[in-house]
Amino acid sequence: MMKAIQQAWLVIVLSLVFGAALAGVQLTLQPRIEANKLADALNQIPQLVPGATQGAAAEVAGRRVFRALDDAGKLVGWVVPAAGQGFADKLELLVGVNADASAITGLYVLDQKETPGLGDNITRAEWRAQFAGKSLAQPLQTVKTAPAAAQDIQAVTGATISSWSVVGIVNEQLARFRKELRHE
Amino acid sequence: MSKAADGPTPLERFIGGILPENPTYRQILGMCPTLAVTNTMEGAMTMAGAVAFVLVCANVMISLIRPLLKPHLRILVFTLTIAAFVTIADRLLAAFMYDMSKQLGPYIPLIIVNCIIIARCEICAARQGPWTALNDALGQSLGFALGLASIASIREILGFGTWFGKWLGWRVIPELPAAQWSNWVIMVLPPGAFLTLGLLMGAVNWAQHRRAARRPA
């Protein structure tokens, strides 16, 4: 035991020092990073909900969402932040839905650390376009061939898990959001 | 390079990193970012800056604690130190250069496995004082930035017609009708990185051979 500590004390001390330093950096920078993500999310709202020109932060049953508004300030849809486990790390998505949350109008990847060249293809506009217009009455399904049914999303080649994660997050979080919205 | 009793001097370390031991063209290290983020100058220079930050901090830190290093645990200590500074760089980018941080995505956390940094810790910082280690880190960082800039300039100019297009908006090739000039999409895509790196490395080797031939030993 003593010998082990003699050998490893530097590693242990450094781990503690670096751990504390990183916690400090995270605490200091977190508000700024969150503000950046919020600005990014608000910028995306016109692309995520057709007809929307602005967004306003709102809360539905404790969940932070964005109301997508048109020029006149009328509600045309919602943008729901949804996060979950991806293939490599946490995935943060923004899902645009119509006013009664019955169909998806758009999808955006806010933060991801998927495999470069494979998994990060989920951020490509062509792939994300598949989600627009999908009904939320039934869960979406990931398929590896050309989509046949209405609820099919074709997985990115070489990134089955990343695609499957996105679809899973959308299914789970949006089902919950629909329930919350009905109870509001 | 002359060998003093305790290794190369700070100046030799600094100069060495820029051209004679250039990380990209002579050591052929750090190939992942060299190939992956060189389709725009903004991305390449942000990567070079992040690597410089990590390299300088890690080299100085390792040099300061070098009397405490146990030979069989040194790689562990290097990796731990590098990982801590990479995480700081990643958070700083996300806070102050959010767009770049999104564009570079996982390549910033991947600096942890950039061999240039661990090689400098092993070759220089674990053996020499902090002043030498600092000069070594600055020289290698400059060399790496030069390597990235040479590839990124060619790729961005041919691929987009711009140079620092996103930051400065400089157009090198004016916008012309498609019949006269169209951007080389392949330069933006991964094959462009391999082609450019291969041709530039060939050119560097060719120049080296010519110089050696002109100056008989």
Does A1 reside within a domain? Answer: no
The alpha carbon of residue B79 and the mean position of all alpha carbons in its chain are separated, in whole angstroms, by 18
pTM, two decimal places: 0.82
What spatial distance separates the first Cα and last Cα of chain B, rounded to whole Å? 15
**Contact A170/A93 with Cβ under 8 angstroms?**
yes
Give the number of residues written for chain B: 217
Q: What is the pLDDT of residue B93?
A: 95
Chain A: give the shortest CA distance to residue B89, in Å. Answer: 10
pLDDT tens per residue across span A149-181: 889 999 998 899 999 999 999 999 999 999 988
**Contact B154/B40 with Cβ under 8 angstroms?**
no
Chain A: give the shortest CA distance to residue B58, in Å. Answer: 12
Chain A: give the shortest CA distance to residue B117, in Å. Answer: 18
A4 part of contact set with chain B, CB < 8 Å: no
Number of domains, chain A: 1
Of A10, A113, A114, the CB nearest to B77: A10
Does A18 reside within a domain? Answer: no
Residue A49 scores a pLDDT above 50: yes
Cβ contact A120–B106 (<8 Å): yes
Question: Rounded distance, CA B75 to CA B144, Å?
Answer: 22
pLDDT tens per residue across span B29-49: 999 999 999 989 999 999 999
Phi, psi of A52 (to 5 degrees): -80, 140
Question: Rounded distance, CA A50 to CA A132, Å?
Answer: 10
Cβ contact A113–B95 (<8 Å): no
Domain that holds residue B18: 10-214
Does B85 reside within a domain? Answer: yes
Average pLDDT of span B108-124: 93
**Contact A52/A46 with Cβ under 8 angstroms?**
yes
Does B4 reside within a domain? Answer: no
Number of domains, chain B: 1
Cβ contact B94–A36 (<8 Å): yes
Does B5 reside within a domain? Answer: no
A102 part of contact set with chain B, CB < 8 Å: no
Name the strand (E) or helix (H) holding B104.
Answer: helix B98-104
Domain that holds residue A113: 33-183
